Structure 1
């Protein structure tokens, strides 16, 4: 049995509505190594029902046949998104079951995905562009595409903003490590690794942040930690205030 290091968000592998035609799915945690410690990381998928009746899956969590059945009742999956340099491991499992879906992936991991994805970035126009805007942020060894679902005014962010809740981290040492890195808030912000990656790419990140603010989102859906339901523009400005230093 896998040891759980972060108190999971419930219910797991079940769709939860965020607004009309947009849901989230809480997935099992993954772990990565930082400073010699295993860091527990909750996962979250975002599901959007497009105006054409098909589904758009962002950052897929672990595949579940029961979850697939629930999604099938909402509509066929037409797009599966691997939004950044780290979030691609579950894509092929979902692509193999949804053979008619098109996979879109951060360009730097496209070669790691068997489903032959279309690279995100630039002025990409896709079937989902009628409902969802996007901007890609290139930070050298890290890149991420951020999305804005216009009908629900929801910003969907993967790792550029995170809010790990300290009270959910079960290891005191890991909790301290995350606090030192700024990952436990109280305000959402990029992880220390991404802030380091941005040192030589601050202008590129500023352009992305300016667009996120210009979209004026009502809510921010995060892949890791507590989502932001109020004062979203203030939260974005706070998350990237360090860029002014």
Structure 2
């Protein structure tokens, strides 16, 4: 019998791995987070493909109130989640509305958390990147920071041939999760990026979760500082 899809990583926060997604010829693993908010309801961060077993587990935790697309690249499975949970509100990072004009977005994410999760999560927008604008979250109760694409790490052997070479040059297969070179070069407004990073480093982060890479289990704030040393040095 298969084990549970949702894996706890701290109080009131669970992770679930989804099927791989093909993006520009590269295979990407997918990961989402389920967060039980203070008071009532669940928040789904970066939803993966919605299987029957995953839906049963999510429903067992509570009612889905909020769906979150944390950047303009993570939108592949939003339609299925909207159909499954029509009462949930969809919150999206800046830029997704222009990319998915037919998608009904209830609210655009900003630098301040909306009332739905203000007591559970903090957030900041990493602006000034040509590839995507990413909203980084901090789950207070578990001390977990959630990055989407700005920090990545793929295990040895994940890519082969010319893809492995490109991944290595892009810092996607470093010994420690890192900001890929393409994202570093895409920051045209580094002043804005440093301001956002300053807020992130003020969070008392213990763990760091990313969509593409194994979670960092301890000393999260020190890890984030190392990952963005190229921006602050």
CA displacement at 1:170 relative to structure 2: 4.4
CA displacement at 1:32 relative to structure 2: 1.8
Distance in 2 separating the partners of 1:22 and 1:187: 23
Structure 2 stretches lacking a partner, 5+ long = none
Distance in 2 separating the partners of 1:190 and 1:13: 31
Distance in 2 separating the partners of 1:97 and 1:105: 18
**Corresponding residue of 2:135:** 145
Distance change (3 Å), C-alpha of 1:193 and 1:75: same
CA displacement at 1:13 relative to structure 2: 8.0
Distance change (3 Å), C-alpha of 1:192 and 1:206: same
**Corresponding residue of 1:93:** 80
Structure 1 stretches lacking a partner, 5+ long = 1-10
Task: Count matched residues.
Answer: 229
Q: Which residue of 7, 28, 44 corresponds with 1:16? A: 7
Task: Write 1 or 2 for the structure with the bigger share of helix.
Answer: 1
TM-score normalised by length of structure 2: 0.92
Q: Which residue of 173, 183, 189 corresponds with 1:184? A: 173
Distance change (3 Å), C-alpha of 1:132 and 1:74: same
SS in 2 for 1:63: coil
Residues 15-38 of structure 1: CA deviation (Å, up to 9, x unaligned): 0110111000001111222xxxx2
Distance change (3 Å), C-alpha of 1:128 and 1:244: closer
TM-score normalised by length of structure 1: 0.87
User: Structure 1 residue runs of 4+, over 4 Å off?
Assistant: none
- Residue 131 of structure 2 corresponds to residue 173 of structure 1: no
**Corresponding residue of 2:198:** 210
Q: Which residue of 23, 46, 52 corresponds with 1:32? A: 23
